[in-house]
């Protein structure tokens, strides 16, 4: 069997209008731009979507809007995780009714569970869900690192279908394969700057921030990876390298939203406790964006 989720998925930003409300009209336009740019899938309400700053009603409305706008053209993996297992299960069940293709479940943050606690958390979500579950490991944000051994244990559960790994540990795909993880278990990078290397080590794609800004160039890179044309993939990676770095000069998604505002696609507004980026960071983003878009 082939992995369920492969290629380029965009971790969508959540646009706000100047009053701070979710701008659904702009959201729909951004989704259309992603699909027209050639991305392989969409991830609403993840880290890049500022989910901790959304109300439950906003969260569910954004997922529903994404699904309805995509119209089945690309899969939608909705962010549904929290540091409360019962709340996560409730969110997953509500998202299931909206028609998502899967859910992205982040490791519980702040609580700092053990590996056994992480296993039990994900198993509880799995046992209560009827959707495919993508594990999400991002230790720089959560304070816990989902080990390869725990990923391997979880991969035996039928509805846990893959991993988005933002640990920066490029050896993880190869290690998991050496351990004997199922061939159809999706291994996706959560870091744009190392996604090419991650895929060269056995990964199958990326959940990308940069593709919010440059979906077409990002899609070309992952199409080249799929074709094992690493010379072309390196060319596109190099074109995006400065932007990959600049979009994390301050906390994501503030730099990404600023880049999109330069393109006239949305407001740079983020919700507290995030704030707009500094003038020096704006200069970095603008220079990097100009470099990426240069012919």
SS (H, E, C) the chain: CCCCCCEEEEECCCCECCCCCECHHHHHHHHHHHHHHCCCEEECCCCCCCHHHCCHHHHHHHHHHHHHHHCCCCCEEEECCCCCHHHHHHHHHHHHCCCCCEEEEECCCCCCCCHHHHHHHHHHHHHHCCCCEEEEECHHHHCCCCCHHHHHHHHCCCCEEEEEECCCCCCHHHHHHHHCCCCCCEEEECCCCCHHHHHHCCCCEEEECHHHCCHHHHHHHHHHHHCCCHHHHHHHHHHHHHHHHHCCCCCCCHHHHHHHHHCCCCCCCCCCCCCCCCHHHHHHHHHHHHHHHCC
What's the CATH code of the domain at 77?
Answer: 3.20.20.70
**Structural domain includes residue 259:** no
**Structural domain includes residue 184:** yes
**Structural domain includes residue 24:** yes
Residue 1, pLDDT > 90, answer: no
- Domain extent, residue 78, equals 7-227
**Mean of the pLDDT values across residues 129-149?**
97
Put simply, whether the predicted model's pTM sits higher than 0.75 gets the answer yes
**Structural domain includes residue 252:** no
**Structural domain includes residue 234:** no
**Structural domain includes residue 264:** no
Q: Is the peptide bond before 273 cis (omega within 30 degrees of 0)?
A: yes
Q: Tally the domains of the chain.
A: 1
The catalytic residue positions are 136, 164
pLDDT in tens, 40-84: 999 999 999 999 999 999 999 999 999 999 999 999 999 999 999
**Structural domain includes residue 293:** no
**Structural domain includes residue 285:** no
pLDDT in tens, 242-270: 999 999 999 999 999 999 999 999 999 99
């Amino acid at each position: 069997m082939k992995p369920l989720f492969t290629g380029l998925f965009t971790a969508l930003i959540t646009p706000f209008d100047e009053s701070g409300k979710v701008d659904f009209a702009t959201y729909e336009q951004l989704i259309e731009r992603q699909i027209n740019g050639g991305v392989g899938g969409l991830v609403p309400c993840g880290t890049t979507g500022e989910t901790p700053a959304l109300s439950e009603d906003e969260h569910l409305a954004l997922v529903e809007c994404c699904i309805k706008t995509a119209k089945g053209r690309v899969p939608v993996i909705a962010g549904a995780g929290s540091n409360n297992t019962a709340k996560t299960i409730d969110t997953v069940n509500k998202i299931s009714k909206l028609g998502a293709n899967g859910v992205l479940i982040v490791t519980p943050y702040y609580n700092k569970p053990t590996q056994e606690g992480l296993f039990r958390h994900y198993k509880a979500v799995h046992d209560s869900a009827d959707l495919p579950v993508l594990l999400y490991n991002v230790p720089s944000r959560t304070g816990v690192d989902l080990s390869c051994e725990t990923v391997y244990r979880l991969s035996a559960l039928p509805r846990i279908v893959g991993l988005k790994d933002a640990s920066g540990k490029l050896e993880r795909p190869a290690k998991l394969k050496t351990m004997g993880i199922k061939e159809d278990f999706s291994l996706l990078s959560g870091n744009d700057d190392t996604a090419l290397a991650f895929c060269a080590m056995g990964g199958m794609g990326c959940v990308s921030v940069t593709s919010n800004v440059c979906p077409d160039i990002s899609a070309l890179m992952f199409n080249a990876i799929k074709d094992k044309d690493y010379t072309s993939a390196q060319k596109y990676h190099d074109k995006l390298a400065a932007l990959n770095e600049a979009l994390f000069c301050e906390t994501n998604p503030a730099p990404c939203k600023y880049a999109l505002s330069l393109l006239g696609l949305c407001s740079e507004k983020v919700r507290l406790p995030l704030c707009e980026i500094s003038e020096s960071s704006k200069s970095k983003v603008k220079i990097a964006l100009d470099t990426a878009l240069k012919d």
